[in-house]
Each structure stands twice: as C-alpha cells, then as structure tokens.
Amino acid sequence: MKKTIITILLAIVTLAGQAQVKCHVEGKIMTDKYGDDVVVCKDGTDLRVNDDPSLHYKAVNGHFECDIETDHIEMYEVKLPRQMDEGSWFTARFLAENGTVWIEMYEDKAPKVRSTGKEGLLHHVLDSIEDVRFWNVVDELDRELETNKEKYFKLDFISAYQTLKSNDADSLPQEYIDSVRNVLRAYYDDERKGYNDEGWALWQRRDSIAKGVRPFSVGYYTEHPVLWAYYDVLTAIQTLNQANVFANFDPEPHEQMLSLYEAKLCNLYKGHPIHQQIAMALAALRLQPGKPYIDYTVRNVDGQLVPISTLTKGNVALINLWASWCGPCRKHSKDMIPVYEKYKDKGFTIIAIAREQKAESMQKAMERDGYPWSSLLELNDENRIWELNGVGNGGGAMFLIDRDGTILSTSTDSEELEPLIKKALYIE
C-alpha cells in the first residue's frame, strides 16, 4: 500500500512539472521576399524590446516548424521580421493548445491559419464567416490603395511617405525627419486630406465594410462564447487606452466588447490567466485626469527596484514614458525641455522611463536630444510598466500628476501642459 501511494505521489509530482499544453506548429512562407527568418512568440511581444534569439526559427525551402509547451492555452503569433521592418503587419495569431497548427504567410495579404485544437476549430467558424462577409473585400481594397498610391493619394503625401520608407532615411537629419513626420501626422489626423477624390471614395467604402466586423463578432460571441473572445476583449481595452493616437476614433465597437465581457464572459473560463490580463488593462483604462496615479516598481538611477511613488513624492511630476525608437516620444520630450528648465527649481520634476532592449540605445538618444533630466530604464519590459500604464506596444505616454498623486493630464503637448504645471505650483 505504501509503495502504491508513493508511486501515485511521484506520478502527480512528475505531471505537475510537465506542461499541460503541447502544440505543434508547422508553417510555410509563400514568398521569398522576406528571407527565411521567422518569429514565433506570445501574443503582444514587441520585438523592439524583447527580441530573444530563442523566438527565431529558420525556414528551410519556405517551411518552418516548432513545438510550444505551456501551462495553459494562450495566444501566440508568427511574424516575419523583415516584413515588419518594411511596415507590414501581416501577423498570424493562433491559440497554442493541444494539437497542430498550420500557417501560411504571404507577401501582401493576411496569413491563413488552421488548427486541430478545439478552441481553434471553434474560432475558425467565425473567422471563415468574417472573411467572406468582410475581410476579403477589405484586403482587396487595401491592396488597391497600397499598390496604386499615385492614383489615390495627393503628391505631397506620397513624397513624405516615400521619404520615411527610403533606404537612406536613417542618414537624414533628425530635424528633417521630424518635419516629414509632422506632414504625415497632419494627414493621419484628418484622413480626408491625404486622398484625392477618387481615393477618398474608395477609402470610405473600405472603412464602412471594416466597421461591420466588430458588431458582427460581438453578436457571434454572445451566442458562442469562445476563448478567442477574451483576447478580442483585451485588444478592445488596449485600443481604448490608446484612443488618443487614432484619428477620428470611434470607441463604440470596442466598448461593445467590454460590455459583453462585463455582462457574460467574465463568468466563463474561470481560472484562466486572461482574466488577470483584462483586469490589468481595465485598471490602466482608469488612468484619466482626476483619478489617482498608480504605483509600480521601477529601477532608480542606482539600479535598485523602488516604488515610483518614492520618486514623485512632494513634487508636481511628469511621468514621461518614452523610447529611443519612438520618434513622436522624442519630439514631445524635446518640447518639454524649456518647460522643465523654467519650473525645475519650483517643485516640478520629470520622471523619464525609457523602454529599451539595450541601455546604450537610451544613452545615445539622450545625448542626441539633449535632455537635461536623467532617465530610468525599463529593460526588456522587466517590470511591465507599459502594460500597467495601458500603453501596450506603443512608444510612450505622459502623465502629469500633482503633489498628491492625482492625474492632472495625459496630454503630450507641452503648450497644454505648461498652464497646468503653473496652476499646480500655485504660480500666477
């Protein structure tokens, strides 16, 4: 009897140490344009700061494969790094679960994904319907707009776009690149400006079709709740968190997903870690003016882990989340230099935190831009600071807080921030 019990206990211990999910991934790259480098990683991994060699696989004659072992079913992605470097975001997403996943990666259209797993098969039904009713037409219109820019866009927009995409863009003066980005940003802020009349009509047709996807998927998930729906909820919350970076943003489709979660989905798939991720994203969504700023751990200039509240205590502080690879972040930071110099001796401080893969990248950017403040370092998302602040894989954000830790503004505009800083410092 004792031997039997010991045998059972040893078996339980052995099983506890093994992954509960084993997923085999096979894929094929249907183009030779982007080489043989393939990345397989967890959903949301940003290769700009978390590019681990273990994520890379080499395709042989276009074919690649790998095995994923994890403790629970979760979302993964397949990316082609060279394709992403050229500004394309055709990422294959799939649920890693017991079974096999087949993926086909293309040059100019969304990947095809098939799965033998239960959750993958359930989602495939919705995916197939959406492809027929929405995405096939949207993809066709996108390709038309992309391949015939001269036909649908205004000449100065095309010129600015081509400048940023050119091979020698890195050698151009930063001030010039910033001015080109400003031109593009003006067009993105008002979509109508970039298109000619024919292009605008085509875009409106494309946009009206794409807007039908979310209401349709919400209706489907209401009747057929599947695990994939939770990742769509997470994406919706993250999009709401980044609403300020989208031109003509419509929050309603994303709020519909959030309402569905609160009404129904929160009571299903109990114990799955996705609920924790959604809770964290919801907490970040509440980081709005008038609300208290959150506390989290960051490495100080001595490399020690400390609560950020210890660095802001007693000051009116601007939390400046930035990155060396984020052009808009650096522009907003440089715009704050004269404001900082004016009020730094009156109780105002800037707590800068750089999201990097290498410390050297931060140092070079600081030297080039001439920031008069020091910067802390979030290396390889060590403390999940961007996630906690609801920034996701965006470059950065700013949070102006008063001496009591209340958020005064989430603007990145120095002209908007200065009057608020003066008021918080009781300066007339």
Query: How many Cβ atoms from other residues are within 10 Å of residue 380's Cβ?
Result: 15
Looking at 68, 97, 116, the residue that finishes a domain is 116
Residue 197 lies in a domain: no
Print the domain residue range for 380.
297-424
Residues 110, 103: Cα–Cα separation, whole Å: 11
What was the pLDDT predicted at 281?
A: 93
Q: Of 92, 81, 84, 103, which Cα lies nearest the Cα of 29?
A: 103
Count: domains in the chain: 2
What was the pLDDT predicted at 169?
A: 63
SS (H, E, C) 385-412: HHHHCCCCCCCCEEEEECCCCEEEECCC
Q: Angle formed by the axes of helices 359-369 and 327-335, to 10°? A: 40
| E strand segments, 80-117 | 92-96, 99-105, 112-115
Query: How many Cβ atoms from other residues are within 10 Å of residue 304's Cβ?
Result: 8
Residue 209 lies in a domain: no
Residue 177 lies in a domain: no
Whether the CB-CB separation of 120 and 97 falls below 8 Å is answered with yes
Looking at 84, 116, 148, the residue that finishes a domain is 116
Instruction: Judge residue 424's burial from the number of C-beta atoms within 10 Å of its C-beta, 0-12 exposed, 13-18 middle, 19 or more buried.
Output: buried
In whole angstroms, how large is the CA radius of gyration of the chain? 24
The residue count of the chain comes to 428
Q: Bridge-partner residues for 83, per DSSP?
A: none
What was the pLDDT predicted at 84?
A: 85
Which amino acid is present at 386? W
What was the pLDDT predicted at 158?
A: 76
Looking at 87, 116, 145, the residue that finishes a domain is 116
Query: One digit per residue, pLDDT tens: the chain, 428 residues?
Result: 555 544 444 444 344 445 689 999 999 999 999 999 999 999 989 998 988 999 999 999 999 999 999 999 999 999 999 988 877 778 999 999 999 999 999 998 889 999 999 999 999 999 999 999 999 999 899 889 888 988 988 887 777 777 766 766 667 777 777 776 776 666 655 667 788 899 899 989 999 999 999 999 999 999 999 999 999 999 999 889 887 666 677 889 899 999 999 999 999 999 999 999 999 999 999 999 999 999 999 999 888 999 999 999 999 999 999 999 998 899 999 999 999 999 999 999 999 999 999 999 999 999 999 999 999 999 999 999 999 999 877 778 999 999 999 999 999 999 999 999 999 999 87
Helix, strand and coil content of the chain, in percent to the nearest 5, comes to 50, 20, 30
Distant-in-sequence, close-in-space partners of 289: CB < 8 Å, separation ≥ 6: 407, 408, 409, 410
What was the pLDDT predicted at 16?
A: 43
Q: Of 140, 106, 108, 111, which Cα lies nearest the Cα of 127?
A: 111
Residue 185 lies in a domain: no
Q: CATH number, domain at 69? A: 2.60.40
Which amino acid is present at 14? T
What was the pLDDT predicted at 114?
A: 96
Q: CATH number, domain at 311? A: 3.40.30.10
The helix (run of H) or strand (run of E) holding residue 421 is: helix 414-424
Residues 95, 77: Cα–Cα separation, whole Å: 9
How many CA within 13 A on the CB side of residue 270? 1
Q: Which two tokens stand for residue 333?
A: 């930071």
